[in-house]
Structure 1
Amino acid sequence: MAAAQKSSPLAPIPPSSFPTHHTAADLPPTARILCEIVASTPVHEVEARLASTQVQPEPEIIQQVLKLSYNYPSAAAKLFRWAGLNRTHTGYSWNLMVDLLGKNKLFEPMWDAIRSMKQEGVLSLTTFVSVFENYCSAGRFDEAVMTFDVMERYGIQPDVIAVNSLLSAMCREDKQTMKALEFFERIKANIPPDADSFAILLEGWEKEGNVAEAKHTFGEMVIRVGWSQQYMFAYDAFLNTLVCGSHGDEAIKFLQVMKGKNCMPGLRFFSNALDVFVKQNDSAHAIMLWDIMIGSGLVPTLMMYNDMIGLLTSNNDVDNAFRLLDDMVFHGAFPDSLTYNMIFECLIKNKKVCEVGKFFIEMVKNEWPPTPENFSAAIKLLFGGDDPEMAIEMWKYMVKENISPRDESANEVLLGFCNMGRLTDLRRFAEKMIDERIIIYESTMTKVKNASYKEGRTAREIYDQISRKWKSSYL
């Protein structure tokens, strides 16, 4: 082979780029010997070292060694030439050699090998797929297309599989889907595309976020190959492009069309789309997406329910949040602490005093109490919203269940009593809190003092009693 007679003008690529025999498990001893020679011997000495081993270059052994010699292209070529003097190479070995040279950007020796393969009658489409991939990964797209154009001269009939292989190689590279489309437009009259052709392009547009081209490609796909559940990868790519491109209206519209064609995507798409709508804070389209998903018989996970409820509550849509909460158990997704606390926090934020108390009772009943932060916020709201008794019930629940930290909630209880002028209750609760080593803030004591000194001597005496006990607790 001509490649074996040339030394590479390029330095070997970094050893970490490809697997080597150092990391290969269960490698036969003879293969390991040959790998060591390829990896450690100066190129001009490789053939002599190989000959001195008296190892028989069986095809399976040579294939194993080539797979682990991508970091040493010149030495691997010497090994290939040496083995070919004693045994006829398999088509697989030839393809490995072509790929090895291409991966190392040794394209002239690669073509020498291809011409030799043609003479040996072992060329196949696999060979050219490797060439497509290596040219594209090197950024040499015109040469990849040229390779497709000359396939027939080498006895390989270009077909839709070859077309798709080249499209895929192009679209894997960054921002090259337009170049892939140019090739597609040129070739489609002679080689009709199939669903995979369109799926490859749609995945490329998805990666690049090109909504306009994705819509054009999808429209042509429907005209040429129709609708089928087998084309779901293409549909997912198209819908993802619309969703990620903030074209929620069109995504919903196409989902409704697809439902009518019995071509609905699976739960994975809906989960990914929901994630995007959450990041976009787009609750309107998220609700429409959710209803289509449920209407299609898909069963959301607890995580999806929590993502959706989190989006709704962050947009103060508590009615839809409650609707989802009520539906959860019917779909086998049981609410957890996060579910309840997101809704509870939304009720507090929107000052739904009556609903806060009722929902607290439901949370406790289902053994998912509020977080310490939500307890504190709820107690503050209830004292200010004329429902102090429910606030006190919450505080007593915290004490009974030993929920901590509860310093913030304790201070809100004291401030609530203070604002209502219930100084006797304030003293009773404060003394118990001090006994329990709960931290009462200096700012709270200042507010209590100011309120007490405005109320007269009895109130001042109550404050002084609390203050003395409070100060002694720090001694």
Structure 2
Amino acid sequence: MAAENSSHLLQVPPPRFPTHHTTGDLPPQARILCEILSTAPVHEVEASLASTQIRPEPEIVQQVLKLSYNTPSAAAKFFRWSGMAQKHTGYSWNLMVDLLGKNKLFEPMWDAIRSMKQEGLLSLTTFVSVFENYCIAGRFDEAVMTFDVMERYGIQPDIIAVNSLLSAMCREDNHTAKALEFFERIKANIPPDADSFAILLEGWEKEGNVANAKHTFGEMVIRVGWSPQYMFAYDAFLNTLVRGAQGDEAIKFLQVMKGKNCLPGLRFFSNALDIFAKQNDSAHAIMLWDIMVGGGLVPNLTMYNVMIGLLTSANDIDNAFRLLDDMVFHGAFPDSLTYNMIFECLIKNKKVREVGKFFIEMVKNEWPPTPANFTAAIKMLFDGDDPEMAIEIWKYMAKNNISPRDDGANAVLLGFCNLGRLTDLRRYIEKMIDERIIIYESTMTKVKNAFYKEGRSARDIYDHISRKWKSSYL
């Protein structure tokens, strides 16, 4: 078993078995036999099968068995009936053993194994199936017992058998410790390989057991050394550290791995960045990023956006801009999310001059702000003594029919109110009313206060605006 296949061993089998009803391309003979197994009373199965006069060729037998896991008693009758026509292949026997095991019919399963021994058809595949089905049933001691008796049945227990049993144990939730117990007992007689450690490390990763992962990884390095071929093991170990909020340890091991030419691939770095982002850990994310890029890996747009999002959340604008400048050199072109995360951060930190300059860059690159960021920028620029840029942003919003724009419009009106620019206030509010933009009552209250404190003529202007505003809703 190659190292790259170790993670496959931890995949969970489907909880429900397929039947002939869900398989459209089944040959007619196999479909007829499956129909009998699923509908005929068990005591009538063999007679019904015989009445079909179908010759059960090995391929048909295998197809029927694969689709009869839900009817084990009928499947056993079918197996006996088809075996009278011609001897079963080892594959058919293994299917039958697996079918019985999946249905927890362990005594008949062992009867089948003994028959296979007499026929000289036993193989490691047979015992791998037994390991898996005992572990699925939670009967781990019997799975280990099966390993211990393999030699009596003529199958030499080797490292593939060891790893198959370890995988079957670790696949079940919270039983990696049971796998470790078996591993400790057997490793003196059958030396573990990289897959053995990868399976255990994936188990510790699933359980989030940092302490045991460190111990297993340490033993792995001593026993099998370092190699880029062991990447599944390295990924599992590093993921356990990162998820366990052990960022310092993860970075330390990454630096060692880089020196051993065993740096993980982009998949690990992408997952780790996502985890650091959820943990709001920008410090370790930056170190991780620098190791990744320094190791020659090229991040993609999604990874850039995760990193920039983390940096802007931490108000680390300088590093966010550094990544923005680097993106194009790595063939990852910024998108709307990239620009808007940085724009939002500039607004939040009241970077008045930078907001204006960055807005121009966004528009130039055809990635304008989101409606929410338009509004936030307008408010901030009015408050930050750059009303002209706020107006420019509003004009862009209006000219390009950015929608929804009601919040942005109200922000402009409130800005004019606060500055006492009544001429602009009147001109803009009347135009907005004409364009059926919704002016909020709270905004109208501020507009009223701004005009009313300027004397009688200003009050008349407001009253005219108010009547126009009210009539627009009729």
Task: Tell me, yes or no, if structure 1 residue 37 matches structure 2 residue 44.
Answer: no
Partner of 2:138: 139
Partner of 2:239: 240
Deviates more, 1:196-205 or 1:459-468: 459-468
Residue 22 of structure 1 aligns to a residue whose secondary structure is: helix
TM-score by length of 1: 0.94
Deviates more, 1:224-233 or 1:365-374: 365-374
Residue 455 of structure 1 aligns to a residue whose secondary structure is: coil
Partner of 2:413: 414
Partner of 1:261: 260
Which AA in structure 1 matches 2:291? I
Aligned partners of 1:169, 1:69: CA distance in 2, in Å?
Answer: 23
Task: Tell me, yes or no, if structure 1 residue 332 matches structure 2 residue 331.
Answer: yes
CA contact (8 A) 1:252 1:288 kept: yes
Which AA in structure 1 matches 2:138? G
Which AA in structure 2 matches 1:388? P
Partner of 2:433: 434
Q: CA deviation at 1:453?
A: 2.3
Large movers: runs of 4+ above 6 Å: none
Task: Tell me, yes or no, if structure 1 residue 69 matches structure 2 residue 72.
Answer: no
Which AA in structure 2 matches 1:178? A
Q: CA deviation at 1:324?
A: 0.9
Q: CA deviation at 1:91?
A: 0.9
Partner of 2:182: 183
Task: Tell me, yes or no, if structure 1 residue 386 matches structure 2 residue 385.
Answer: yes
Structure 2: state its 5+ residue gaps. 1-14
Aligned partners of 2:49, 2:374: CA distance in 1, in Å?
Answer: 77
Deviation track 1:76-106 (CA, whole Å, cap 9, x = no partner) reads 1111112222211111111111111111100
CA contact (8 A) 1:353 1:385 kept: yes
Q: CA deviation at 1:278?
A: 1.0
Figure out how many residues of one structure are paired with residues of the other and give that number.
460
Residue 313 of structure 1 aligns to a residue whose secondary structure is: helix
Deviation track 1:21-57 (CA, whole Å, cap 9, x = no partner) reads 2222332222222222222222222222223333222
Equivalences for residues 64-213 of structure 1 within 5 A: 64-213=63-212
Aligned partners of 2:55, 2:436: CA distance in 1, in Å?
Answer: 83
CA contact (8 A) 1:70 1:100 kept: yes
Deviates more, 1:50-59 or 1:438-447: 50-59
Deviates more, 1:369-378 or 1:120-129: 369-378
Partner of 2:346: 347
CA contact (8 A) 1:392 1:413 kept: yes
Q: CA deviation at 1:459?
A: 3.1
Aligned partners of 1:83, 1:40: CA distance in 2, in Å?
Answer: 18
Q: CA deviation at 1:458?
A: 4.0
Aligned partners of 1:86, 1:474: CA distance in 2, in Å?
Answer: 87
Task: Tell me, yes or no, if structure 1 residue 251 matches structure 2 residue 250.
Answer: yes
Equivalences for residues 395-406 of structure 1 within 5 A: 395-406=394-405
Aligned partners of 1:199, 1:344: CA distance in 2, in Å?
Answer: 44
User: Which structure exhibits the higher relative contact order, with contacts defined as CA atoms closer than 8 Å and separated by 6 or more residues?
Assistant: 2
Partner of 1:311: 310
Deviation track 1:143-192 (CA, whole Å, cap 9, x = no partner) reads 00000000011111100000000000000001000000000000000000
CA contact (8 A) 1:21 1:32 kept: yes
Could you say if the C-alpha distance between residues 428 and 114 of structure 1 is closer, same or farther in structure 2, counting changes exceeding 3 Å? same
Deviates more, 1:161-170 or 1:424-433: 424-433
Q: CA RMSD in A?
A: 1.4
Deviation track 1:323-380 (CA, whole Å, cap 9, x = no partner) reads 1111111111111111111111111111111111111111111111111111111111
Which AA in structure 2 matches 1:405? P
Which AA in structure 1 matches 2:111? D
Q: CA deviation at 1:316?
A: 1.1
Aligned partners of 2:26, 2:428: CA distance in 1, in Å?
Answer: 76
Partner of 1:463: 462
Partner of 1:287: 286
Aligned partners of 2:124, 2:212: CA distance in 1, in Å?
Answer: 30
CA contact (8 A) 1:160 1:194 kept: yes
Deviation track 1:444-474 (CA, whole Å, cap 9, x = no partner) reads 1211222222233343343233223323333
Aligned partners of 1:279, 1:84: CA distance in 2, in Å?
Answer: 58
Deviation track 1:186-223 (CA, whole Å, cap 9, x = no partner) reads 00000000000000000000000000000000000010
Aligned partners of 1:56, 1:464: CA distance in 2, in Å?
Answer: 97
Deviates more, 1:382-391 or 1:428-437: 428-437
TM-score by length of 2: 0.94
Identity fraction in percent: 87
Aligned partners of 2:337, 2:37: CA distance in 1, in Å?
Answer: 59
